[in-house]
């Protein structure tokens, strides 16, 4: 079994919205609540965001189970809509809940990463224009300032955004997130607002002089050209500027890829901004980087007539001989993690970083339940081992990777997919909210224990 350094954190991730549901305190309505009310038929088996894994009622038992596995750290988050249900009025019940919740992590000797925003846009904020609205951005900064003031260093690591552009691509260029429109100009405005909000929060955070570091968690689905043709290579560079390294560099240290400005300008797609806002973004500096990795992006040019923007002229295509997770239709390519680790070492000043999400989602996992009632998820163990092997290789060669979080600690609700594909080490029974370890939990426990042998 792989042996990592003792100070290499091995843990797991989840999120507020995907585990809390409505919970035990008041909470403001989310954009996803509205989506579910309008189109419940789009959500797998009609399971919406009301209950999810109900962790606000079960967290003491859940964290005890996480402790039994030996998880050394967990990433989850605060809910903006729970702390400020209408965007203005503080909900003291929520404040107290999060204090109790954080203390329970300490009791179980689990370090805590807390995210400020993980796809959970309050409905009032969406109705004001989402991240395009400077009023919404200012409210987000006030919420972040409250969190830093109230919870201080009881949180071990702060995270501004998880997968910041996923709600943009899935909600403004797709129908997976609300508002489910396809409008590149709106997508660009939303993305710029996220970059600005991230940078403003970082500047405010520095005023608090906390010991805890702050970073961002970015979904870096490593970019490759589909072929060695000149056209595919050029398309991969542009795709990278829009989806992977380009936005990552903005949120890492406030640098803009010239390709981004050039191609947006060519199509009349530049966002609305002021010089002052650009200067704020240029001041961006994070303390650590979290990376979510599930699959690579192999970029291919396509014929495009009357493109709205440059991204209409390319697509992602999976090679015919690729290994696939058939439940998600995603390519499985662990080797990208090693390349990523080397790139962070060489081009990102070897910033402290960790894998914030990586996991294997499978549909109908109950098919693999044995006679004792335990899900024998050997496919997950194989996936984790293959990816951890590449991380281990990068660490051995000097990449400053300090940990690995699988997705997910526990089965989580997953937006329109609900519980279609399960990822957890811990199984959730939606009928009675009971919990049960899967086989992978024992394997993960052994992996953690092996650090200290």
So which residues are the catalytic ones?
163, 357
Collect all residues with Cβ–Cβ distance below 8 Å to 140 and sequence separation of at least 6. 80, 116, 117, 125, 197, 201
The four Cα atoms 62, 66, 69, 70 give a dihedral, to 10 degrees, of: -150
- In total, the chain counts a number of residues equal to 453
Number of neighbours of residue 421 by Cβ within 10 angstroms: 19
Q: If DSSP codes are grouped into helix, strand and coil, which group holds residue 400? A: coil
Q: CA 110, 220, 36 angle in degrees (round to 5)?
A: 75
- Separation CA 103–CA 82 (nearest Å): 18
- Separation CA 182–CA 175 (nearest Å): 8
Collect all residues with Cβ–Cβ distance below 8 Å to 70 and sequence separation of at least 6. 10, 444, 445, 448, 449
- Separation CA 453–CA 59 (nearest Å): 30
Phi, psi of 398 (to 5 degrees): 95, 5
Task: Using only the alpha carbons of the chain, give its radius of gyration.
Answer: 21
- Largest Cα separation within the chain, whole Å, is 65
- Alpha-carbon distances, residue 50 vs 23, 96, 229, 292 (angstroms): 8, 21, 48, 26
Phi, psi of 144 (to 5 degrees): -60, -45
Nearest residue to 220 via CA among 292, 298, 300: 292
Tokens of 386: 């293959």
On whether the CB atoms of residues 151 and 100 are closer than 8 A, the answer is no
Phi, psi of 203 (to 5 degrees): -65, -40
Q: What is the DSSP letter of 29?
A: P
Nearest residue to 178 via CA among 189, 166, 188: 166
Number of neighbours of residue 50 by Cβ within 10 angstroms: 12
């Amino acid at each position: 079994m792989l042996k990592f350094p003792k100070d290499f954190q091995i843990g797991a991730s989840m999120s507020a919205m995907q585990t809390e549901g409505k919970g035990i305190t008041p909470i403001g309505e989310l954009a996803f609540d509205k989506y579910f009310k309008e189109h419940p038929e789009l959500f797998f088996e009609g399971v919406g965001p009301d209950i999810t894994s109900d962790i606000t009622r079960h967290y003491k038992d859940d964290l005890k189970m996480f402790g039994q596995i030996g998880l050394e750290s967990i990433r989850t988050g605060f809910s903006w809509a729970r702390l400020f249900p209408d965007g203005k009025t503080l909900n003291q019940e929520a404040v107290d809940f999060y204090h109790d919740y954080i203390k329970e992590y300490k009791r179980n000797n689990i370090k805590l990463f807390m995210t400020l925003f993980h796809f959970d846009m309050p409905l009032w904020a969406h109705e004001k224009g989402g991240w395009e609205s400077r009023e919404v951005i200012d409210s987000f900064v006030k919420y972040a300032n409250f969190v830093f003031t109230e919870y201080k260093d009881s949180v071990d690591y702060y995270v501004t955004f998880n997968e910041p552009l996923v709600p943009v691509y899935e909600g403004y260029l797709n129908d997976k997130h609300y508002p489910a429109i396809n409008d590149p100009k709106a997508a660009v405005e939303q993305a710029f607002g996220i970059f600005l909000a991230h940078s403003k929060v970082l500047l405010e955070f520095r005023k608090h002089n906390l010991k805890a570091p702050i970073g961002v968690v970015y979904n870096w689905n490593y970019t490759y050209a589909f072929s060695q043709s000149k056209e595919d290579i050029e398309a991969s560079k542009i795709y990278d500027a829009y989806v992977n390294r380009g936005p990552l560099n903005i949120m890492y240290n406030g640098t803009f890829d010239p390709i981004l400005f050039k191609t947006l300008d060519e199509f009349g797609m530049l966002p609305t901004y002021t010089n002052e806002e650009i200067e704020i973004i240029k001041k961006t500096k994070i303390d650590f980087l979290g990376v979510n990795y599930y699959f690579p992006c192999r970029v291919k040019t396509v014929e495009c007539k009357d493109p709205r923007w440059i991204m209409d002229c390319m697509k992602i295509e999976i090679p015919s001989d690729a290994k696939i997770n058939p439940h998600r239709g995603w390519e499985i390519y662990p080797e990208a993690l090693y390349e990523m680790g080397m790139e962070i070492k060489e081009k990102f000043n070897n910033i402290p970083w960790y894998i914030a999400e990586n996991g294997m989602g499978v549909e109908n996992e109950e098919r693999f339940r044995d006679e004792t009632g335990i899900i024998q998820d050997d496919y997950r163990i194989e996936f984790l081992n293959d990816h951890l092997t590449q991380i281990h290789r990068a660490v051995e060669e000097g990449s400053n990777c300090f940990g690995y979080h699988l997705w997910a600690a526990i089965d989580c609700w997953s937006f329109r997919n609900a519980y279609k594909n399960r990822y957890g080490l811990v199984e959730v029974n939606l009928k009675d909210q009971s919990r049960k370890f899967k086989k992978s939990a024992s394997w993960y426990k052994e992996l953690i224990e092996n650090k200290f042998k």
